[in-house]
């Protein structure tokens, strides 16, 4: 629906993006959607590393880093998703998992690349389950993400936008967005309900 979206939003201040892109910028890769193709329909952003891509399509941290780099090379702003499963959270591995995912990106692209994108923390256990990280839990991981990046470059860490994605709803958006290191939301199911999504947008604008 990207081309239709582009027509609808052409005269608005809203920007649009895609849910995934190829790790290749060009070439004969049948079925892949290259960043240039997304740019042609007006996309400015693209998600890379969504938990479903990691789990269902076995995308490794290396593949996701390559997708991030390809997005940048084609003029898109990548949104890097990081986060842990329920088993990893219950095993007290949240920090280790998020650190591994961030470190792989930094190793492949360099920390400066993060200054040209966004990071979204999406606890896998809270996606589409109705369970949501508490504002304190979200803040803890967001602060960890910022601190991990600050160890490489404090300026980039300070200016980086870190979004929360995991059953964001109108009822919890204001509390989540009030946290000092939560800069917005990566909204899933609630974005399909117009009234709910408008309320989330309003909460972000406060």
List, for residues 18-42, the tens digit of each pLDDT value: 999 999 999 999 999 999 999 999 9
Average pLDDT over residues 126-139: 87
Q: What is the pLDDT of residue 42?
A: 96
Q: Rounded distance, CA 87 to CA 90, Å?
A: 5
Q: What is the pLDDT of residue 131?
A: 77
Q: What is the pLDDT of residue 94?
A: 97
- The catalytically annotated residue of 50, 59, 84, 142 is 50
Planar angle of CA 201, 148, 181, nearest 5 degrees:
25
| pTM of structure | 0.95
- State yes or no: pLDDT of 206 exceeds 90: no
Q: What is the pLDDT of residue 129?
A: 77
Q: What is the pLDDT of residues 152-180, one digit of tens each?
A: 999 999 999 999 998 899 999 999 999 99
Q: Rounded distance, CA 196 to CA 147, Å?
A: 32
Q: Which of the four pLDDT bands, split at 50, 70 and 90, describes residue 130?
A: confident
Planar angle of CA 147, 186, 156, nearest 5 degrees:
30
Q: Which of the four pLDDT bands, split at 50, 70 and 90, describes residue 127?
A: confident
For the question of residue 50 being annotated catalytic, the response is yes
- Rounded to 10°, the helix 135-150/94-109 angle is 40
- Rounded to 10°, the helix 170-177/194-205 angle is 20
- The catalytically annotated residue of 32, 52, 59, 122 is 122
Q: What is the dihedral sign for C-alpha 86, 167, 128, 47?
A: negative
Q: Which of the four pLDDT bands, split at 50, 70 and 90, describes residue 72?
A: very high
């Amino acid at each position: 629906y990207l081309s239709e979206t582009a027509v609808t939003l052409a005269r608005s201040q809203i920007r649009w993006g895609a849910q995934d892109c190829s790790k290749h910028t060009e070439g004969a890769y049948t079925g892949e959607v290259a960043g240039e193709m997304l740019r042609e329909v007006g996309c400015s952003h693209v998600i890379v590393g969504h938990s479903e891509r990691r789990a269902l399509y076995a995308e490794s941290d290396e593949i996701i880093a390559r997708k991030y780099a390809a997005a940048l090379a084609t003029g898109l702003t990548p949104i890097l998703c990081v986060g842990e499963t329920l088993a990893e959270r219950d095993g007290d591995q949240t920090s280790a998992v998020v650190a591994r995912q961030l470190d792989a990106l930094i190793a492949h692209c360099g920390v400066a690349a993060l200054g040209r994108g966004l990071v979204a923390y999406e606890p896998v256990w809270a996606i589409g389950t109705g369970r949501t990280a508490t504002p304190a839990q979200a803040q803890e991981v967001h602060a960890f993400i910022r601190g991990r990046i600050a160890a490489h470059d404090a300026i980039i860490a300070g200016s980086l936008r870190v979004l929360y994605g995991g059953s964001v709803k109108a009822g919890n958006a204001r509390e989540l967005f009030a946290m000092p290191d939560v800069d917005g939301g990566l909204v899933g199911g609630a974005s399909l309900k117009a009234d709910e999504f408008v309320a989330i947008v309003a909460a972000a604008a406060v």
